[in-house]
Amino acid sequence: MRPILMKGHERPLTFLKYNRDGDLLFSCAKDHNPTVWFADNGERLGTYRGHNGAVWCCDVSRDSARLITGSADQTAKLWNVQTGQQLFTFNFDSPARAVDLSVGDRLAVITTDPFMELSSAIHVKRIANDPADQVGESALILKGPQGRINRAVWGPLNRTIISAGEDAVIRIWDSETGKLLKENDKEVGHKKTITSLAKSVDGSHFLTGSLDKSAKLWDIRTLTLIKTYLTERPVNAVAMSPLLDHVVLGGGQDASAVTTTDHRAGKFEAKFYDKVLQEEIGGVKGHFGPINALAFNPDGKSFSSGGEDGYVRLHHFDSDYFNIKI
């Protein structure tokens, strides 16, 4: 399995997202310019210029017409995917961290960081069909979690919002009323910052990765813990195969601790686990720094990883990957 190395970012990667058709890959990095690539050969299609800070997260609409990005410049922007034109800017009083479009693309959830004396918040915005009708007001603002909210995603039928972040608690909110419905059981939950969250294709369960060197699989409605995957280093990114029962975890030490470990070339690997048996089934090495982003192509036949080294590595699986037996 030879990776395609995609060099387009000058700073560490923060997020990767495929469109629903699986032909485009969107990447976000700390270098202000979200980028779109062809997902089969890694060719760079273009960049979205306009942000003035690190871009933390993005999401693309079901028809691949609109892109939404959240940035440290205290804005979230809507873009025309095809032309790269800015359609609208949502302004906040603190950096925008996570963005997620609802099923139907009529709503977006955007989280904002704590900043000065402001606490973190989860904003729900209505997304208009016509950019000319777009308004900046939040339909709902949720507060409560301590510290950054690293991820917020929509639950089944857009009825709930699931959030997770620095306080290591996963919360489920009612997206209509803003009421807190559930928090995960502290006994079985993560012990440190939750860095990442990925939903299954059918939306019935989701995976969280944490700096406590583990990833956990949860039921999306009841918030019951289903599985735990243990690894040796902090987990920065998680992804779930849409095709096989595989989960993949990426991570590495914090940038400040890297010098204290042996630095064999490309030692940072994405580890594959059997989703059901919780056993490690393989790893893909190659990055020269911690892995910050992971994404599976919706067809399950390829995946990409983004690292602290500024590279996106695109891997098309060999046929033997599909016959792994434990």
Domains and CATH numbers, the chain: 3-323 (2.130.10.10)
pLDDT at 256: 60
pLDDT at 324: 83
Kind plus residue range of the DSSP H or E element containing 86: strand 86-91
Q: Among 66, 134, 132, 72, which residue's Cα sits nearest to residue 97?
A: 72
Average of per-residue pLDDT values in the chain: 95
Q: Whole-angstrom Cα distance, residue 99 to residue 76?
A: 8
* pLDDT above 60 (res 245): yes
* pLDDT above 70 (res 266): no
Global pTM? 0.94
Q: What percent of the chain has pLDDT above 70? A: 96
pLDDT at 260: 56
pLDDT at 261: 56
Q: Whole-angstrom Cα distance, residue 150 to residue 98?
A: 6
The three-state (H, E, C) secondary structure of 159-170, written as one string? CEEEEECCCCCC
> Which residues in 61-81 are b (16+ Cβ under 10 Å) and which e?
beebebbbbbbbbbbbbbbeb
